[in-house]
Structures are given as C-alpha cells and as structure tokens.
C-alpha cells in the first residue's frame, strides 16, 4: 500500500504538511528526526491519511492536494473540524 498523509505541527503555529510514502511510521519518524528540509524545525503528528494500491495513484493525489486550492481547502476544513481547530 501507498499513502498520502497530512501531518500537523505540535508547536504553537499548527502548520500542516502533505506528503506521500510507502511506510507511514518510518516517514513520520523521518520528519520528527529533522531529516526533511521542509519539516525539520517542527515536531509532527499524523492527523490524516489515505491508502492507495499504486504509488502512481498516491503521488497523483498528493499533487492534487498540493496544487489545487479548493481540493486542499475542503480537506483541511474536515481535518481542522476533527481536531477542534
């Protein structure tokens, strides 16, 4: 399985990060160990993920979320509501 995921910063700024991976647990550890330039100054928690059978499908969904504002906005509204933000 391949995953598209959303991380939420546990620091006070409450940033979100969207990515894709084959191994969610290892990828979250990588983000929290400052191995990713885009996320290295924060600690993260996993708040959402979607599972896909193919890597191509997961990457396509990741790109849609990152580059199509209305799609990302709709997902973020759902995530923030579930987090009570």
CATH number of the domain where residue 31 is located: 3.40.1440
pLDDT confidence of residue 38: 82
Split the chain (85 residues) into runs of 10 and give each run's mean pLDDT.
95 86 95 86 93 98 95 93 84
pLDDT confidence of residue 30: 93
Q: How far is CA 31 from CA 5, 38, 63, 70, in A?
A: 12, 9, 19, 26
* Residue 31 structural domain: 2-83
Pairing of strands 2-9, 16-21: antiparallel
Structural domain count, the chain: 1
């Amino acid at each position: 399985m391949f995953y598209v995921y959303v991380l939420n910063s546990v620091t006070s700024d409450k940033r979100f990060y969207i990515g894709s991976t084959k191994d969610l647990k290892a990828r979250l550890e990588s983000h929290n160990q400052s191995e990713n330039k885009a996320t290295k100054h924060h600690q993260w928690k996993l708040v959402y993920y979607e599972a896909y059978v193919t890597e191509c499908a997961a990457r396509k969904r990741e790109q849609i979320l990152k580059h199509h504002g209305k799609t990302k906005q709709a997902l973020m509204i759902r995530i923030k509501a579930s987090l009570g933000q």
